[in-house]
Structure 1
Amino acid sequence: METYGLEKLGILNAKAVYRNLTPAVLTEKALQRGEGELMDTGALVVKTGKYTGRSAQDKFIVDTPAVHDKIAWGKVNVPVSREKFNAIKAKICAYLQGREIFIFDGMAGADPACTQKFRIINELASQNLFIRDLLIRPTDEELAAFGDPDYTLIAAPGFKCDPEIDGTRSEAAIMIDYEAHMIIICGSQYAGEIKKSVFSTMNFILPQQDVLPMHCSCNMDPETKETAVFFGLSGTGKTTLSADPKRMLIGDDEHGWSDHGVFNIEGGCYAKCIDLVEEEQPEIYHAIRFGALVENVVIDPEKRTPDYSDSTLAVNSRVGYPVEFIPNAAVPGVGGIPKVVIFLTCDSFGVLPPISQLSKEAAMYQFVTGFTSKVAGTEIGVTEPVPTFSTLFGEPFMPLKAQVYADMLGERIEKYNTKVYLVNTGWVSGPAVDPKTGEKNKRMKLSYTRAMITAALNDAYAKEGVAFEHNDIFNLEVPTSVPGADVPAEIMNPRNLWADKAAYDEQAKKLAKMFQKNFEEKYPDMPENVKNAGPKA
């Protein structure tokens, strides 16, 4: 039996070792092993148990002299000793002895100059199917010549840490040793931990190759190849707005920006399923078919039909599938130099303009700030909008210091004359929920947002000579109209839509102060010209 060097890792006497099995065989194996069930479309459905999302507090980076000065240590990037890492790794390898082992050898980075080879070692056939969907799948020739991987990841959700003995916070641990090129994941069956660990690794590697890694979606014009990048945290519309039937989807989540252009780090997509409706997101809806892995979606036990509105198992229900399952996907996932960068935010305070054009310095400010906000009533005790600031629109996956990534973005904006816009997909006529009456206001119409973004992609604001007004509080340049679209001019300035102008001013200044406080606390060493490009309370 070929073991593909598992002994070197300390995994001995495996019951069986499978490498790069097909989706059909992996699905069959998962069903035989009781890991999941089929839904009516043929997709494999699993339950991930206790962990239905990423466990951010259980993520660690091995602190060694070679990486110590590069990492942005703190609450997100938590250090762990090499000794503790090796001790847990040894226990995981011992746990895997005598078990079936599933290996997937694949790549991250569609640009051959930046490609990294990853060997993923799984305890579960279903998780091996997932990562086969999400990474770039090698051809038969590439697999035959694969050789040694650049990084190895071991995922054993069945092994539980003992916090008192292992020094972890819980039974789960997600640990990366950048120097040893090794990743271990245990205690959690949520497959997103595997995907994001690969992304976190690429985010460490790529800047050293003068490539900007980005937590974003990306699409391009099928004829001109003009490319656009969409940054945004969960709920801002990143996936929805980048899935434009008139443009080709390069990828929905993770990309690199090199001197050649942009490229997808992945070979698949990982989309939310909650409240999924065919009419609203047909591409995702029809991608849930044989070969896809679905997590925590409730299935009718007899008909095997899904109920995407049922959040009993998880609000964060997900599906992973190859990017080829999307009809207008660009394969391989490469595009040109971005002509437009879109920062998406969902402002439940209701005060940010629906679209603003950013200078290089303002773009760097908004990039490191990574703002969106929670809606009142979404969590117990949340009675008013709550700001969320996630550095670089992906703080949990960015191991280096924020200025490293921000400087790279600024350099590219200047070098390629890339235009950057901040788009508010949230509320503009008042807060999401009126604090006095409890009434819900309406979110910005999706059709209006699409029209504003289309104008940005076509450079229509400049070509049509649209006038801009300066928003003094948020220090933003706001177009006064949307050329070629039936978008009411009055909505371009949210203050126009508030019945109580004084209430708008108070709410806007309140949010501006939150921006300032966050920036001063987290980025005291950022250049003054970047700091001055932010809101002015």
Structure 2
Amino acid sequence: MKKSRIELREIAIKKERATPLPSGALVVETGEHTGRSPNAKFIVKDDSVKDSIDWAYVRGMDPKVWEEIKGDFFASENFKKGLFESSVYAGHKDFGGISVKIHCELAWHSIASLNMFQEIDDCDKYDFSLYYVPSFTAEPFVLISFEDGLIIISGTQYAGEMKKSVFTILNHILPEENIFPMHCSINLDSNLESPTVFFGLSGTGKTTLSADSNRRLIGDDEHGWSSSGLFNFENGCYAKVINLSQEDEPEIWSACQKEDAVLENVVLKGDGTLDFFDNSKTENTRASYPISYIENSVSSKSTKLQPKNVILLTCDAFSVLPAVARLTPEEAWKFFIIGYTSKIAGTEKGINEPTATFSPCFGLPFMTRKPKEYADMLKKNLENSDINCWMLNTGWNRGPYGVGERISLEDTRDILNKIYDGTLAKLKTFEHSYTGLNIPLDVTVDLTLLKPELGWNNIKEYESVCGNLLDNMRSVLSNLSI
């Protein structure tokens, strides 16, 4: 059954315990699961994809098992009781994408789907159908069948599962159309020129840094890069909002206050106002809203230009990496395929403190092909252009997590502004003696940002931690370069 946003909102308030704010935003709770359940996603090993998916990193499901689950689902009362429908397009009609019919058990999930994807008119045939029915199973699962054009999600109310399952599909099919799918954000300068691409996992600053009052935002999470330009897969943003402040992130803060923004697991104060600093429910509080709510967003959600800068973000919790480094295409290939960062508390279930992780292509849970295929696409694009590529570390300085402190947003933005205006590209670089990275010789910043070892109390401890991290990187690289 198809309902208007107004009708969906009323149902969410009356039947799903959504709390309305005077602004028109809705506050909801997702229950036990407040982040993705990465081990719950399976792709059916059907003939159409069995030879193109990298099953070393993707969990496969036997077609016979799939047929049993699918039959049980469509015969269940959960399916028969009626679901809220929306017709959307994921991708960009000027570049590439898929049409999706979404069926949601919860009204607020349906609102979230309309926030995140471009609504389209109903049509006779869709590329995929997505069923999001949390009550069908007790434990989370996300099942994708390319052959049937079908996604079934259950056992969790975390809305991020919905968008990430759709992007998993796009990340698989678009390379066949010579489009490089990217887990990234993209912005332009105020003249709609000089695109900057930010690769990074949740918690690295991808959304925060790209939402800049002096820049124009194309999107904050999933994009495509082709010879014709850059484009957003989404119609909205799904921002992490823990510790969100109006002073530091005014664009995102303002978007969260607008009508039909859906705030997941954000705590309300006694006076009914939002407390973005309360993590009692989760560190992974989220907000979905149309990208048009970001006042300086680009209405077309695309550009015909090629990037001027590509930035590979990492959040190094071990205070080993410099705050910034300039990368050659070969170095970018290595850094991208390794995908080093530190998972931040709450982004996935069971992560309670920063943990070193290697997620190839900065999005392994959503990438289905061999990481080398995606990394080769990046390297080719960098080699065939005059793009500047950078590593930008938003993690810890003056010691590891628990000892040092996180690099301030002010310092990171200062470095970023020098990337935007070309200052860093003009500077000479020096080779960092411990990591081998080429560091811009910027005398205006704190030296510990360029030489992190100087911020440690014990240089031997730094050398040990640095050596362990680099050994881990080499090990990951040797396994992924085939």
Pairwise TM-score range, normalised by the shorter structure: over 0.9
1:147 aligns with 2:129: no
- Name which of 61, 71, 76 aligns with 1:90: 71
Q: Give matches, 1:30-429, under 5 Å.
A: 30-74=12-56, 76-94=57-75, 95-138=77-120, 143=121, 146-160=123-137, 171-288=139-256, 289-300=258-269, 303-335=271-303, 336-373=305-342, 386-429=355-398
Q: Could you tell me which runs of 5 or more consecutive residues in structure 1 were left unpaired when the two chains were aligned.
A: 1-16, 162-170, 434-439, 526-537
Conservation of the 8 A alpha-carbon contact between 2:97 and 2:170: no
Tell me how far apart the structure 2 counterparts of residues 444 and 275 of structure 1 sit (CA, whole Å): 15
The question of whether the paired residues in 2 share the 8 Å contact of 1:346 and 1:424 is answered with yes
Equivalent position amino acid for 2:400 in 1: P
Letter of the 1:481 partner, please give it: D
Matching residue's letter, 2:225 = W
1:469 deviation in Å? Answer: 0.8
Match of 2:453 among 477, 483, 495: 495
Pair 313,156 (structure 1): closer, same or farther in 2 beyond 3 Å: same
Q: Residues 193-214 of structure 1, C-alpha deviation per residue, up to 9 Å, x if partnerless? A: 1110011011011111110111
Cα distance in 1 for partners of 2:368, 2:319 equals 32
Stretch of structure 1 that moved more, 312-321 or 120-129: 312-321
Report the CA distance between 1:42 and its aligned residue.
2.2
CA distance in 1, matches of 2:261, 2:353: 38
TM-score of the two chains, using structure 1 as the length reference = 0.84
For 1:111 and 1:260, locate their aligned partners in 2 and report how far apart those are by CA, in whole Å: 13
**3-state SS in 2 of match to 1:45:** strand
In the alignment, structure 1 residue 455 sits paired with structure 2 residue 418: yes
| Partners of 1:207 and 1:233 in 2: CA distance | 21
Q: CA deviation at 1:430?
A: 2.3
2: distance between equivalents of 1:210 and 1:383?
39
Report if the CA contact (8 A) 1:40-1:303 is conserved. Answer: no
Which residue of structure 2 aligns with residue 517 of structure 1? 475
Match of 1:507 among 465, 469, 473: 465
What secondary structure is seen at the aligned counterpart in 2 of 1:431?
A: coil
> What do residues 97-146 of structure 1 show as CA deviations (whole Å, max 9, x unaligned)?
542321111111125230321111111111110000000123xxxx16x3
Query: Of 469, 483, 506, which residue of structure 1 is paired with 2:430?
Result: 469
Partner of 2:431, secondary structure, is: strand
Gaps of 5+ in 2: none
In structure 1, distance between residues paired with 2:16 and 2:343: 38
Provide the TM-score with structure 2 as the length reference: 0.93
Q: Partners in 1 of 2:189 and 2:259 — Cα distance? A: 29
CA distance in 1, matches of 2:210, 2:320: 24
Distance apart, 1:442 and its partner CA: 2.5
Distance in structure 1 (CA, Å) of the matches to 2:354 and 2:319? 9
Distance in 1 separating the partners of 2:94 and 2:65? 35
What secondary structure does 1:116 align onto?
Answer: strand
Q: Which residue of 1 aligns with 2:404?
A: 441
The separation in 1 between residues aligned to 2:156 and 2:192, in whole angstroms, is 44
Distance change (3 Å), C-alpha of 1:347 and 1:126: same
